[in-house]
A and B are shown apart, each in its own frame.
Chain A
Amino acid sequence: MTTVTLDVLRRSLEGVMPSVMATSSQDGTPNVSMISQVHYVDRDHVALSYQFFNKTRQNLLATRRASVTIIDPVTYARHRLALDYIETRTEGPLFESMKAKLAGIASHAGMAGVFRLLGSDVFKVRSIELIPSLTVPEPTPERDLLSVVRRSCAELSGIGELGELLDLALDCLERRFEIRHSMALMLDPDTQRLYTLASRGYARSGVGSEVALGEGVIGVAARERTPIRIGHMTSEYRYGAAVRDTARRFGVDEGQITEIPFPGLAAPSSQIAVPIVGGGRTLGVLFAESEETMRFGYDDEDALALVAGHLGTLIMLLPPEESIAPPPAPEPEPAPADAAVTVRHYVSDDSVFLDHDYLIKGVAGAILWRLVREYAKSGRTDFTTRELRLDRTLRLPEFAENLDARLVLLRKRLDERGACIRIEKCGRGRFRLVLGARLVLEEISGEPAEPHLANT
């Protein structure tokens, strides 16, 4: 027996190579099978996937012991674990994390639909035995993740604005972690949907695109408040399908959905989603993906969880807007006469269209409608976040970061569209509406009825 702990064997628990599992019946008859998943829980516990009610299962319930042999896919070292069965979990973070990983393994093994997680069997590790084997030396790591995390966190600490913070976080992932495709999404606590607020490495930003709680690795990570990752992509966790299915179920033509397309890779192999938690709440999700299989391991998960944890704290500490009275209305600027744009607002879902192009909906749509109406009434172009926060008609969710996130979303959507309306920051808690055309406002009480699938 050695003093090795599970912490240094996590690579053997990634499910790259199948493991061997043995159990015993009450009369001492052995049973042995290959198993696809031995999951690291903590330094003293592993969890095995319960997929079928078979002899292994009967034996576990009868004698509560197992022996598992695992292989390190890099050094080829083998270890034999003596395990004591504790309990089976059928829901919660551990279960969901294993379910996602198993779906990937099943897809890789051509067993999608056959492998299905019924439960996570949790075991205490009684002993770990190093099996004499032919091994190769540990290779030099590609990067020192601890150092990368430290430098990323230090860089992020100086930022006092939500949009900049998330953009810089994704920039750090690219520069320091060599993660080229990433997104940051915020959770709308009212609609229980996540919306993309920053992205990096995609042909289109997808800012404003939405993911339902529980959908794909992002939705599950947010719902369970636990990191979720997949080393081999599977249709079970793909995005987009659920939205279209829902639309069809409700008899909506796909073309009529006010949906900004999710920007993800067309054929990802690995994905990881880590919840951003602050003040005991899920604020959002940090997401990364790659075309490389098994790109994200346990160490990457730890590193991204630290960055996401830091982000959560920084978001909670974002400086509040200054308590200043609304600025006096400036002299109305002459509206540009050579161009006009129709801003159409649908009351039912606060969706806003510029001429016939869908821009945004929900709280961000309501904010824009309030700003342009105020401008039409008084000619005022300077606003404060405080006045928006105090405006009950906007139905803002309770916490401060929700308004900040909506303003970032609105600003980015307007910028991406190259629209004749822009929003510029002009001091802490203050921003300005910048207009390049005369506005014609239309308020419509019915549902949007035109083809509105956004192009950007």
Chain B
Amino acid sequence: MSQGPASPADDLSAYQGHNDRIAADSPLSVELAAFMQSGISVILAVVTADLQPISGFALACRIDDTGTVRVLLRKPANAALMNVVAQGRPVAVTVSRPHDHRSIQVKAAAARIATVRPDDLPEIARQTAGMRDELIGCAFDPLLSAAYVAYEPGEVVALELKPDRIFIQTPGPGAGSELVP
């Protein structure tokens, strides 16, 4: 992966250049939705009522044509985080592509906990393999890269959320800017 790092300006022009929304009421563009599902890093966070943040890793995310994002994650690793989600608290999800650091954060006022559907499993397998290969491409140890995305199918759970705001998180000048349709 020889190309250089992405820049916030790239994110801005990609968003403005592909202005087709994935759904009428979603700020997600088709291009962003494809990026988020491309087999890269997915992390998330919630905040408790007393303002304690909780961070976590996810495995993959899927986006349907209504603009709903299904974040797929390991339940045993995220018990406290799921409890906070169940209380109706806001959720933040960041997707990053290791080889060029392109990163996007979406935020939603709340999320719904859902069970995994049969068609989620091949998609989790595809996206985690993609993330593993990204890490290997960045010279990380292959075993470590595989362990980074390891999961048991029976332990996966889904969070469904409708992003209401999107932020550029690619490092550099302009990082943190909101992408507004």
Contacts and interface: CB of A to CB of B under 8 A. Distances in A.
B51 A20 contact: no
B5 interface: yes
Contacts of A28: 47, 49, 51, 89-90
Contact of B53 (A67, A110, A133): A67
Interface in A347-365: none
A33 interface: yes
B136 interface: no
A22 B176 CA distance: 15
A26 B139 CA distance: 39
A350 to B, nearest CB: 48
Given A71-B148, A114-B171, A33 B77 contact: no
Q: Secondary structure at chain B's binding surface: helix, strand, loop or mixed?
A: mixed
B130 interface: no
A280 to B, nearest CB: 41
B172 interface: yes
B23 to A, nearest CB: 23
Contact of B147 (A23, A115, A132, A134): A134
B15 interface: no
A163 to B, nearest CB: 41
Interface residues of B, number: 47
B94 A23 contact: no
B81 to A, nearest CB: 9
B145 to A, nearest CB: 9
Given A78-B77, A111-B171, A115-B171, A30 B144 contact: no
Nearest to A77: B147
A63 B4 contact: no
A105 to B, nearest CB: 12
Interface residues of A, number: 43
Contacts of A52: 171, 175-176
B107 interface: yes
A69 B76 CA distance: 15
Interface string A4-35: 00000000000011001111101011111110
Of A24, A26, A82, which is in contact with the most chain B CB atoms at under 10 Å from its CB? A24
Contacts of A24: 47, 51-53
Contacts of A108: 139
Nearest to B147: A76
A109 interface: yes
Contacts of B53: 22-24, 30-31, 65-67
Contact of A32 (B94, B151, B152): B94
Contact of B77 (A22, A23, A133): A133
A31 B91 CA distance: 8
Given A22-B45, A32-B43, A114-B171, A54 B176 contact: yes
16 contacts: A22-B54, A22-B92, A24-B53, A30-B46, A30-B90, A31-B53, A32-B43, A32-B105, A33-B169, A34-B43, A51-B171, A52-B176, A55-B167, A66-B53, A134-B150, A136-B147
Given A29-B47, A34-B43, 4 more contacts: A24-B47, A32-B93, A33-B94, A69-B56
